[in-house]
Structure 1
Amino acid sequence: MDNTVSELLSVDSTFRDEPRLEDLSDLATKTLDIVESMLKNTATRDVEFLKTVLLELMMAEKRCRMARDGASNARICTFIIQLLYDIRDLPNVSYYLILLSRKRGQLKAAITAMVNLAKSWIAEIPDMEARMNLIDTLSHITLGKMYLETQRAEVAFTLARIKEEAGDIAGAADDVHNVEVDTFGLLPKQDKVRYLLEQMRLHLLNKDYLRFYITSKKINESLLDSEEYSAHKMKYYEYMIQYHLNEGDYFEIAKAYHKRMDTALKQGGTGWILDMECMLLFLLLSPISDETVKYREDIVASNEKNMKETPMLTTLFKEFLSNNLIPFPLEENISNAIRAHVVFTDTHLPGGDVRLAVLSDRVVQHNILVVSKYYTAVQLVRLSELLNVDCAKLEEEISSMVHAKTVHAKIDRPAGIIRFGERKSTDAVLNGWSKDIAAMPKNKGKGGKNRRRGKNDNEGEKRELVFKMEDQEYAQVLRMLGNGRLEAYCFDGNKRLCHIRGKMRKRVWVNAGDIILVSLRDYQDSKADVIAKYTPDEARSLKAYGELPESTKINETDLYDEEGDGGIDFQDVSSESEEEDGKADDKFDIDDL
């Protein structure tokens, strides 16, 4: 108890008592000696005798409390509680716990010592009603007291364990969910993680997946990377696998097994092999997408040595990354090994038959994707012969892949032909051609870098019309803000603060109402970067092509500042091979004539 008191007094001032006014340790020792001698010399301990003993102790407790002597007061309070417990007067144990904790000016050291002593008796009390009464008493005392956060968490999870053993899973889950251990400042991090994992486990048993997800987000996964949290990390991802299995998210399950495999490798042993096999199989079960394909490639690149432990599964896994057709159904030896694996049995993870059917679908989808890379059109019957799949199954899989945008295809059922590839409209083809032309080099026939660069009124007419790319947008200047900044209205309906950047080839005077081309920022939607300004003729051409709204008003001013004072600088993409403006060449050149 003395160690507990000293630990309490060494923490922050929020959780410790005020400085004591008087040292009454001698008084406490003398009082306890007197009471102990009374107990030894008295054979019959009736009610009147107990009242006399308790009165003596309560008087000493009051003096210690008034003198703010936390250590002496804690000794007396715990002696009172221990005395009542020794005679198995459990109702009075709860009564005096509440009475002493509610005394005016009661010291935190005394309350903490009593709670720590009482909670150690919970497991020893055989009578369930008395045990629950003691738990309720401790819960009431610890409620709202920051210096008793650790004790409150222990009592709450002890209550949940009792309810779980009694079969009340829902009640146990509710009890632990109401304890916000993530906000407890005194609770060590390892204990917080342990309690949060217990919450996750109970929510899984209760099939309350929403609360499970909320609780799982309270654990910082980067914290689990420390070696001291290895056991917690394995348990955390085991619970996450159960959650994602219920959601049907095989890709997240594969990533969870990857985390477990890395942790098991650091710990040593052979347990990581099973986690690696599960990771590979769930990656094969994941829907085909750019993300999953990239993840598979990274796994092969970083675990080439480890994958040699499972040669058969590794061979199948690499086949999914190749442009080769996978025989369907799978070869007998591979098929038997897969059917016997824990992933496809119900002993470890429920739903093995469902996952086995999904794996067959993934093989068919892989083969369809391979065929789409080499064929633009193929007869349905011929494709059925190549893949050894009936036509109805092929139509179903192709439809699901088209819906998921994994492959572009159309099925001509009357003709029995499947056409692969995205069909572009005439406008899309024309726009693509225009963008390709705009991206071609534009410095041919303009002379070398010694060519004098001066004002050229016809420069705008010679420039190729630049169309916007995917991450770009047309805009109209609303007002100038100075320092290379302006406010523009983008034709996607948003106003943005634009910044002019890039190397200079010439100085361009930008006015309100000018049409410009801006590059959007992925991380700042309210800001953009100016990359080009259109002349009025170019703006009208864009309007004619349908790139600008019909209601757009074209600013007729297009001024070039010869001296550069007050102009706003930005790069003309057609002049990267030339020198910056401002480097004049005094030598005579025949191009000047």
Structure 2
Amino acid sequence: MTASQEKGATPQKKKDDKTKEEKINEIIAEGGTVVKMEVDYSSTCDEKLPQAESLAKAGKLNDALDMLMSLEKQCRTGADTHSNGRVLVLAVRLCAEAGEWNMLNEKIVELTKRRSQLKGAVTKMVQECATFLDKTPNKDALLKLIETLRTVTTGKIYVENERARLTHRLAMIKEKDGELKEAATIMQELAVETYGSMERKEKVELILEQMRLCLATQDYIRTQIISKKISTKFFEDGQNDDLQLKFYEYMIEFGLHEQNYLEICKNYRAVYDTKTVQEDTEKKMVAMKNVVLFVVLAKYDNEQSDLIHRVKAEKILQDLPKYKQVLDKFTTSELINQDAFCQQFEQELRDGVQGSAPTQVFSRNEAGDARWKDMLTRIVEHNIRIMAKYYTRITLTRMAELLALPESKAEDCLSEMVVSGAVSAKTDRLEGIIDFSQQDQDPLENLNVWSNNTNKLMDLVMKTTHLINKEEMVHKTLGAGSSHHD
């Protein structure tokens, strides 16, 4: 063989490899087995299928089905998947066109239970039956057909996609009838994240439906579990903004129930960064307003502190002066006067002003009032942190005066912050003095420092011993050399 012939053979080999890969994918889609066709019944089907259709149109449906059942057995025993699929599809279509819905359900069960039934043919039949759902004469017929199809597809990997779509359809019907819990239970049966043949977008759509129904039934624990099945990397290509916005809408609803303000802020940040919101000025403004308010409402920690400074750097805040001022208040090392803060910001944040619509964060209802109360608590916590920064010791009376709170309330707030580790302080309740000076280190930390110092000391001792031994050896060697010389 020449070199040119060898080169020409390489692409052919690659083509053959690709064909094998395609065959493997087909085998997986068909449930892991492939049946070799023994007899080709294509010509027989071309002849008999039109005859069966003619019989059905003439009102002889049973005769047509008998002919098809006989032909189906031939195709099945001959392992002709394509022809068998054509026969099954025509059989169910004739039943549907004749309006024999009960007979259709019976034939579906009968055909799928036949011995050594070909998987590819069953898949085609189920897909054809799915098109009849909108043609059913009434709701009872629709529900029976869905239930029949769900029964025959149970546990069959090769029709898992069709089963998922049927289950979703059934859940929507139940929801429309007001049976929310039942609809949620039906949808939870699906483990679409394990379906290998389903497109990723369709998986996400079905998982979002599961989340929506769980939120509607106030099953927040299951909502959190299901939400982890969606990877946010799926949204990074910017092709599925509608699904991304829906996902974060559900996560925000879940966060509001859990009162996890920092997570809500992150979710609104993700909404703000989507292409759809960036192109709509009004939506962009609303998203940024929510980001600002929820980052301020979040409890102070390193992550919140970092996030609030990054939000403050956003250029869009130049168009939202009041919201920028709120951030300035919480990022400046100065005390915030509660009364002055309410007077300056409450009107715009809660009710809105001309040119700046309010958000739903502090709306005039029970939830809005609770969040406004949390905002005032954050002001108190901010003020205590500032005091800890500037004072080493302060009387409880003076601190309560600066916080504009009764002494008992001021002491409770300080105690909560000390317990959470936000500030370090000691209270002398007899003298009424609070000591903000740095407290002694934790005993474990002290022990670690002592151990480290001991190790350093022992290293120095070992090094010194080694050097002394070295010097002694050198002197002995020099002394022995000089005596020998003498």
TM-score interval, normalised by the smaller of the two chains: 0.7 to 0.9
Structure 1 equivalent of residue 238 of structure 2: 227
Partner AA of 1:385 in structure 2: E
CA deviation vs aligned residue, 1:243-272 (integer Å, no higher than 9, x gap): 121112111111111111111567511212
Q: Which amino acid aligns with 1:409?
A: A
| Aligned twin of 1:334 | 345
In the alignment, the residues of structure 2 paired with residue 59 and residue 294 of structure 1 have an alpha-carbon distance, to the nearest angstrom, of: 74
**What pairs with 1:23-34 in structure 2 (closer than 5 Å)?**
23-34=40-51
Q: CA deviation at 1:139?
A: 1.1
State the shift of 1:345 in Å.
4.2
Is 1:393–2:317 an aligned residue pair? no
1:535 positional shift: 5.5
CA drift at 1:143:
1.3
Distance 1:141 1:110, change over 3 A: same
1:344 aligns with one of 352, 358, 361: 361
8 A Cα contact 2:362 2:372, kept in partner: no
SS of equivalent residue, structure 2 residue 405: coil
**Secondary structure in structure 1 of the residue aligned to 2:46:** helix
The CA distance in 2 between the partners of 1:421 and 1:229, in whole Å, is: 53
* Residue 458 of structure 2, aligned match among 510, 529, 534: 534
Cα gap change, 1:380 to 1:233, in 2 (>3 Å): same
Per the alignment, residue 139 of structure 1 pairs with 150
Alignment of 1:198-209 (within 5 A): 198-209=209-220
Map residues 29-428 of structure 1 onto 2, 5 A cutoff: 29-40=46-57, 42=58, 45=59, 49-264=60-275, 267-270=278-281, 271-301=283-313, 303=314, 305-329=315-339, 330-340=341-351, 341-345=358-362, 351-424=367-440
Q: Note if contact 1:265-1:272 (Cα within 8 Å) is conserved in structure 2.
A: no
Unaligned segments of structure 1, at least 5 residues: 1-7, 433-466, 475-514, 518-531, 539-557, 564-593
Say yes or no: does 1:20 pair with 2:37. Answer: yes
The runs of at least 4 consecutive aligned structure 1 residues that moved more than 4 Å come to 8-11, 264-267, 535-538, 558-563
Q: Which has the higher helix share?
A: 2
Q: How far did 1:356 drift?
A: 0.3
Q: Find the aligned partners of 1:308 and 1:24 in 2 and give their Cα distance.
A: 75
Q: Distance in 2 between matches of 1:371 and 1:216?
A: 41
3-state DSSP class of the match of 2:198?
coil
C-alpha distance after superposition, 1:358-396 (max 9, x if no partner): 001111111121122111122233333333333333222
C-alpha distance in structure 2 between counterparts of 1:67 and 1:215, whole Å: 45
Q: Matched residues, percent identical? A: 30
Q: Write the distance in 2 (CA, Å) between the matches of 1:85 and 1:124.
A: 8
Q: Which amino acid aligns with 1:161?
A: M
CA 1:398/1:268 → structure 2, altered by over 3 Å: closer, same or farther? same
1:344–1:267 Cα change, 3 Å? closer
* 1:327-363 C-alpha deviation (Å, 9 max, x unpaired): 212152411111223243458x971110000001111
Cα displacement string for residues 162-195 of structure 1 (whole angstroms, at most 9, x for unaligned residues): 1111111111111111111000000110011111
In structure 2, distance between residues paired with 1:313 and 1:259: 19
CA RMSD after TM alignment: 2.9
Work out the CA distance in 1 between the residues paired with 2:454 and 2:393: 43
Counterpart residue type for residue 354 of structure 1: A
Number of residue equivalences:
436
Q: Between 80-89 and 185-194, report the one with greater CA deviation.
A: 80-89
Cα distance change, pair 535–316 in 1 and its aligned pair in 2 (3 A): closer
| CA shift digits 1:70-90 (9 cap, x unpaired) | 222222211111111122211
Alpha-carbon distance in 2 for matches of 1:561, 1:216: 68
Q: Quote the offset at 1:126 in angstroms.
A: 4.4
Taking the aligned partners of 1:183 and 1:65, their CA distance within structure 2 comes to: 30
| Structure 2 CA distance for aligned equivalents of residues 27 and 561 of structure 1 | 105
State the alpha-carbon separation in 2 of the partners of residues 125 and 10 from structure 1.
38
TM-score, reference length from structure 2:
0.82
What is the distance in 1 between the residues matched to 2:454 and 2:431?
A: 49
Q: Which has the higher strand share?
A: 1
1:9, distance to aligned residue in structure 2 (A) = 8.1
Measured in 1, the distance between the counterparts of 2:81 and 2:234 equals 37
Residue number in structure 2 paired with 1:441:
none
Once the two structures are superposed, the pairs formed by residues 429-440 of structure 1 within 5 Å of their partners are: none
- Structure 2: distance between partners of 1:561 and 1:256: 66
Secondary structure of 1:342 counterpart: coil
Residues 445-489 of structure 1 show CA distances to partners (whole Å, capped at 9, x for unaligned) of xxxxxxxxxxxxxxxxxxxxxx844xx966xxxxxxxxxxxxxxx
Where in structure 2 are there 5+ consecutive unaligned residues?
1-21, 352-357, 471-486
Name the CA shift for 1:344/1:298 in 2 (closer, same or farther; >3 Å): closer
**Does the C-alpha gap of structure 1 residues 316 and 536 become closer, same or farther in structure 2, counting only changes over 3 Å?**
closer
State whether residues 289 and 359 of structure 2, in contact with CA within 8 Å, keep that contact through their aligned partners in structure 1. no
